């Protein structure tokens, strides 16, 4: 997305689409509001329905799941955004059985889509502060989190920071997912 100020100054940011393909006529982006974030503050505080925004893409590495084969989705933090589009798609085409989603969040307060995620296809782990009923202590993603979700034959989709993506990929390989079946989307700081 690119914003252009009246004086010609531009600021661009990359965002993943959160809406399912069935959501024709609209695109949902999930944008975390950052203090002093020139684009995120504008999108949260200034933009109103009907405003026109300049968007293009996809740019760089991206992945897509078409809803036809089993998928293991592994997201860290806001990396759950494109995976949410896949989960929504699976639920809408009544093929949620094809998807298993593992989300890593720092704490319950940092969990994106907390109201929409629950379901038999979703697992949430916390890295810094877990609620009492979490079922596991807070900590980084490990083999014991991933292994029960691996069925064999699925494509794994990983999205998160470079460190998370690398760690999740290593755990998936350790769990028996072939390297050629792993798709990764990394994101970093914008500016």
User: What pLDDT, on a 0 to 100 scale, did the predictor assign at position 135?
Assistant: 87
User: What pLDDT, on a 0 to 100 scale, did the predictor assign at position 146?
Assistant: 97
Domain count across the chain: 1
In a domain, 151, yes or no: yes
pLDDT in tens, 29-39: 888 888 888 88
**Domain range for residue 96?**
71-186
Highest mean pLDDT among 30-39, 63-72, 97-106, 181-190: 97-106
In the beta sheet, which residues pair with residue 158?
74, 184
- Which of 15-19, 45-49, 150-154, 166-170 shows the lowest mean pLDDT across its residues? 15-19
Whole-angstrom CA distances from 16 to 106, 138, 141, 145, 184 are: 20, 27, 23, 25, 13
User: What pLDDT, on a 0 to 100 scale, did the predictor assign at position 61?
Assistant: 62
Q: Taking the complete model, does pTM exceed 0.85, yes or no?
A: yes
In a domain, 25, yes or no: no
Q: Which residues of 59-73 are buried (b: 16+ CB within 10 A; e: fewer)?
A: eeeebebebeebbbb
State residue 62 phi and psi, 5-degree precision: -155, 170
Q: Which CATH number fits the domain that encloses residue 100? A: 3.40.50.80
In a domain, 181, yes or no: yes
In a domain, 6, yes or no: no
In a domain, 66, yes or no: no
In a domain, 18, yes or no: no
In a domain, 3, yes or no: no
- 114 and 106 Cβ atoms separated by less than 8 Å: no
In a domain, 155, yes or no: yes
**Of 87, 63, 83, 66, nearest in space to 75 by CA:** 83
User: What pLDDT, on a 0 to 100 scale, did the predictor assign at position 126?
Assistant: 97
111 pLDDT more than 80? yes
Identify the band that residue 65 occupies on the pLDDT scale cut at 50, 70 and 90: confident
User: What pLDDT, on a 0 to 100 scale, did the predictor assign at position 190?
Assistant: 52
């Amino acid at each position: 997305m690119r914003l252009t100020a009246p004086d010609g100054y531009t600021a661009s940011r990359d965002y993943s689409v959160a809406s399912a393909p069935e959501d024709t006529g609209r695109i949902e982006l999930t944008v975390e509001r950052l203090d002093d974030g020139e684009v995120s503050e504008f999108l949260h505080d200034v933009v109103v329905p009907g405003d026109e925004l300049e968007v293009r893409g996809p740019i760089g590495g991206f992945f897509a799941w078409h809803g036809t084969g089993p998928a293991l989705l592994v997201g860290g933090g806001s990396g759950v955004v494109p995976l949410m589009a896949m989960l929504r798609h699976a639920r809408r085409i009544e093929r949620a059985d094809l998807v298993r989603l593992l989300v890593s969040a720092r704490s319950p307060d940092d969990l994106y889509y907390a109201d929409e995620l629950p379901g038999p296809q979703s697992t949430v782990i916390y890295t810094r502060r877990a609620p009492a009923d979490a079922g596991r202590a807070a900590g980084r993603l490990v083999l014991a989190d991933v292994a029960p979700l691996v069925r064999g034959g699925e494509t794994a989709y990983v999205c998160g920071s470079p460190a998370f993506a690398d760690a999740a990929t290593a755990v998936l390989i350790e769990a028996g997912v072939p390297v050629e079946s792993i798709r990764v989307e990394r994101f970093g700081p914008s500016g």
